[in-house]
A and B are shown apart, each in its own frame.
Chain A
Amino acid sequence: MKPILMGKAFLFGNNIDTDQIYPGRFVELTDAKDIAQYAMHGVDPEFITKVRDGDIIVAGTNFGCGSSREHAAITLKEVGIGAIIAESFARIFYRNAINLGLPLFICPHISTLIQHNDRVSIDVFTGVISNASGPLAKAEPLSEYVVHILESGGIKPLVKQQLEERS
């Protein structure tokens, strides 16, 4: 994992639910490439034509609330989202994203500090968030366990290693 994540900000509001991130009627798709076609479709069907590798989603509270569908995290990772910074995350979305190796940062008031299309950077280890005019805020530090999962490229390689050691 890169120590500094940098990208263009896409700004969203509070309570962006998983039906907006990835509508229910597309949940039958199972391959990441297909799932990527509908990222943020419920909020902005044109999102996938605008997003670039490494871009950062910035949102208000309770991002990812609603369904447990891992598709919501898969689609954002697959379109190249480098990190999501929100004022809070729904619990299942948080686990899903970290499990897939998509870094999430919790930072109070961040949706009022960053503008749509700002160039944003976040220091993974210090949590310092900056835009072109300098440092803006500090995200809550990631727990050791979360860093361990992210540095392993997600939880699957970790569990694989654990299962191999056992056998």
Chain B
Amino acid sequence: MHAIEKLLAKKAGKASVQTGEIINCEIDMAGINDLYLQTIRSFFEMGATRVFNPHKVIMFMDHYAPASTITQAQNQKQFREFCWEQGIDLLMDIDQGVCHQVLADKGLAYPGEIVVITDSHTTTHGAFGAFGTGVGATDLAIILATGKLWFRVPEIIKINFEGIPQKGVYAKDMILYAIGKLGADYAVYKAIEFGGSTLQHLCVSERMAMCNMSTEMGAKASYIQPDAITMAFLNEKVTHPYEIYQTDANFCYVDEITFDISHLTPQLSAPSSVDNVDDISKYIGIAIDQAYLGSCTGGRAEDIGIAAAILEGKKISSRTRFVIVPASKGVLLEAMEKGYVKTLMEAGATFVTPGCAACLGTHEGMLASGETCITTANRNFPGRMGHVSAQIFLGSPAAVAASALMGKIVDPRDYLK
């Protein structure tokens, strides 16, 4: 069996599971985002009165942090009251940040865990050897009511990255390259394990970006076998007991693909599909109205540090806005302590408090008609960050920062010290 299958079997109370089998699993952590009041409505519609275990439920005020309309404020108010009534202590209010980063910061993502959140990028937690998957409001309500959810045991794909990345090439470039080669629906209903020698050169932040973007291939979950890099992070953050599963040597993947990334150059996903990926050289010179660094994909302290290194002592183009949204309070504090915030503000960047902000086109950095944006975020669908005619390019933090500096798309390798 694969480590993911062993994990699922354990949570379903079974000795083993088979691909395609429908199993009912106990959920270790159920997360609700402030977008989805239907979760609470469905909970009560189903006749439930108390959540299955208030200590295994976490509420995130992240997508509307802080509320920018009365309706958002009303929705958040109902969520807070629900948490208080139900004894849910893990109420991550508007100061905390994006759900996935908050879980990591607080040591609530760990190997062997099943974490289900009403957010499609819950695949991020594969970076810690957890089984993370996104669901809709009603599925989450079922967990609140029963503590369990049904899953179909997925086929498992292995994607290996081999080689040492060149300077200026990041996990974001690698995963965009893979999505471009494999397609936006390549892994629908399936799980992806990332492997290969390149992982030894990727810190936890980079691994989170990689696992996060597996959603953009349709994956149900992702997985990186915990290693020394994972353990160093877990030892610092996690106090909860956890179990690391190992894949059997004879396990047969449904597909196994290897990318040699030693010569990979910076990549961009061009409008308006994430799998529309090319070498950045194809787009050099396109004018940028807004550069956006943030999100659960590319808003970590490491990402902000890369931007600070590029912009130190410089000024961004007068025709370009540079919006930076730290993924969490922990990220913002680290960026402040390391001096990144000062450097970037002096360079002309605009900081927004932690949260999802304009990544999903609700507030704090929306795009006007005909504008062009380059972002470290995860989606460039039509209308994703504002007007339906706005154009969104997805790239690495270095590509975003260097493009903000020059006011047009540039190769970030020319701007790294």
Partner-B contacts on A (CB < 8 A) = 14-15, 17, 19-20, 23-25, 27-30, 42, 61-62, 65-70, 73-74, 88-92, 95-96, 99-100, 143, 145, 154-156, 159-160, 162-164
Contacts and interface: CB of A to CB of B under 8 A. Distances in A.
B94 to A, nearest CB: 15
Contacts of B45: 156, 160
B38 A74 contact: yes
Interface string B131-147: 00011111100100110
A119 to B, nearest CB: 29
Contacts of B188: 62, 88-91
Interface in B34-86: 35-38, 41-42, 45-48, 63-64, 69, 71-72, 75
B353 interface: no
Interface string B169-212: 00000000000000011001100000000000000000000000
- Candidate in B22, B146, B360 with the most chain A CB atoms within 10 angstroms: B360
A19 B138 contact: no
Contacts, number: 124
Interface residues of B, number: 46
B101 interface: no
Given A17-B379, A92-B120, 12 more contacts: A24-B384, A28-B69, A30-B38, A62-B184, A65-B218, A68-B136, A70-B137, A99-B139, A154-B138, A159-B46, A159-B145, A160-B46
B46 A91 contact: no
Contacts of B139: 95-96, 99
Determine chain B's interface SS by DSSP, over half rule: loop
A42 B388 contact: yes
A141 to B, nearest CB: 14
Given A20-B382, A27-B362, A28-B75, A62 B135 contact: no
Q: Give the 5 A-B residue pairs with the shortest CB-CB distance, closest first.
A: A62-B185, A96-B136, A24-B361, A70-B136, A24-B360
Contacts of B351: none
A156 B138 contact: yes
A166 B309 CA distance: 59
B47 A30 contact: no
A87 to B, nearest CB: 9
A156 B139 CA distance: 9
Nearest to B122: A68
Contacts of B382: 19-20, 42
Contacts of A25: 361-362
Nearest to B67: A28
A95 B119 CA distance: 14
